[in-house]
């Protein structure tokens, strides 16, 4: 019994190995970029600018890039500015009050407080504090070392930006995969919910709800990769032509996020419906499978290259056909949970049609009206 707890099962070991491999593959290019930037930054600072031991240049390059593909330009600017503030304040204060435990505490507090007042970025404040410590402990005030560290930080940040421009990751591909993963999960959840409703069995719906709740990491990764993609499309000539595709994906990010939130609510309310043994019109139940098929088309649209099918127009047509069938007679005389499920499906359709490129008002107009005088004129 003890040995089984001490050693993971073979299946568990394979799962950990697979997870490790996936993490390594997703981080391979950022690791190469950091390594290349560190070496180049050292070479520029030491052999081109002729600094004796420019350790801060490769550090600055690695910190400015990191493993995250988002906001690298911001990190570079924050790092350089933080070093400048920290060394400037540290050099000034230490030259007046000397160095010691309480002087170090005061210098770090003043440098970080100044950085926070100037900018909310965490790297800015951290680098200001680190640089202040450097001045208060290692660099005698008034010497050229402080200025050299500023130059090293600038070199590291600029080399990091240059590496991103010359050895870039694709600005669209990672975010597109995240979006496709989220939509694929949404389709799977809808099918499991339908199975639970048909069987009047809460188990498939409980599994679907767990699956839907686990998508937040992919949503966050999608947003991070979109942000990083925008930077790459600005600074790398290799991908200037990807800006239009990135703009389309950027516009779809919020609707995808909102759609997944609606899927979670839909699954949760469907679970309540089954547990309460509430009756749901079979026509509405069948819409789950139809909607899942439409989401599959939307997923294929996200993965399609320019000029390939399905495009936004094709995905919108499929979604519109589902929307046209969501008339209020599907919940005539129904209970609260059935009505909520119906309303969530309509909201979900609006979100998904926005992913397919429709404006919100146009997406709402595809749905049959539920009141005599709707706010937006429905399509004929």
* Euclidean distance between CA atoms 48 and 124, whole angstroms: 27
Question: What number is the average pLDDT over the span 28-47?
Answer: 88
* Euclidean distance between CA atoms 266 and 342, whole angstroms: 9
In angstroms, the Cα distances linking 308 to 173, 229, 313 are 15, 22, 12
- Whole-number pLDDT of residue 144: 53
- Whole-number pLDDT of residue 179: 94
Mean pLDDT highest for which of 80-94, 104-118, 261-275, 328-342? 261-275
Q: Comparing C-alpha atoms, which of 289, 294, 314 is closest to residue 304?
A: 314
Q: Are 323 and 366 in contact (CB under 8 A)?
A: yes
Question: What pLDDT digit, counting tens, does each position of 324-335 carry?
Answer: 999 999 998 888
* Res. 8 pLDDT band, cuts 50 70 90: low
- Whole-number pLDDT of residue 79: 72
In angstroms, the Cα distances linking 221 to 26, 301, 363 are 11, 19, 27
Any residues with CB less than 8 A from the CB of 287 and at least 6 apart, and which? 322, 325, 326, 330, 345
- Whole-number pLDDT of residue 1: 43
Query: Three-class SS of residue 333?
Result: coil
Query: Three-class SS of residue 88?
Result: helix
pTM over 0.85: no
């Amino acid at each position: 019994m003890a040995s089984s707890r001490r050693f993971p099962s073979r299946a568990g070991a394979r799962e950990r190995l697979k997870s490790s491999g996936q993490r390594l593959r997703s981080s391979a290019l950022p690791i190469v970029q950091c390594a290349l930037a560190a070496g180049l930054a050292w070479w520029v600072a030491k052999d081109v600018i002729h600094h004796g031991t420019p350790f801060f240049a490769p550090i600055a390059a690695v910190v400015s890039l990191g493993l995250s593909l988002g906001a690298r330009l911001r990190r570079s600017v924050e790092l350089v500015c933080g070093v400048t503030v920290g060394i400037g304040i540290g050099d000034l204060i230490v030259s007046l009050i000397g160095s010691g435990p309480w002087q170090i505490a005061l210098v770090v507090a003043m440098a970080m407080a100044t950085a926070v007042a100037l900018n909310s970025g965490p790297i800015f404040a951290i680098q200001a504090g680190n640089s202040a410590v450097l001045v208060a402990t290692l660099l005698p005030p008034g010497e050229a070392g402080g200025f050299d560290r500023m130059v090293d930080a600038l070199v590291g940040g600029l080399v990091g930006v240059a590496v991103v421009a010359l050895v870039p990751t694709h600005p669209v591909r990672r975010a597109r995969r995240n979006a496709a993963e989220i939509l694929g999960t949404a389709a799977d959840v809808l099918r499991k919910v339908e199975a639970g409703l048909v069987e009047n069995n809460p188990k498939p719906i409980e599994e679907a709800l767990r699956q839907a709740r686990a998508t937040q990491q992919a949503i966050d990764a999608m947003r991070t990769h979109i942000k990083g993609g925008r930077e790459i499309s600005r600074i790398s000539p290799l991908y200037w032509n990807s800006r239009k595709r990135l703009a389309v994906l950027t516009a779809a990010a919020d609707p995808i996020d909102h759609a997944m939130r609606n899927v979670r609510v839909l699954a949760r309310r469907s679970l309540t419906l089954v547990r309460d043994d509430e009756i749901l019109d079979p026509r509405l139940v069948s819409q789950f499978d139809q909607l899942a098929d439409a989401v599959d088309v939307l997923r294929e649209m996200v993965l399609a290259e320019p000029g390939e099918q399905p495009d936004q127009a094709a995905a919108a047509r499929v979604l519109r056909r589902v929307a046209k069938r969501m008339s209020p007679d599907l919940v005539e005389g129904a209970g609260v949970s059935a009505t909520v499920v119906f309303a969530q499906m309509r909201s979900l359709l609006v979100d998904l049609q926005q992913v397919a490129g429709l404006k919100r008002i146009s997406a709402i107009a595809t749905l049959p009206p539920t009141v005599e005088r709707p706010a937006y004129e429905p399509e004929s």
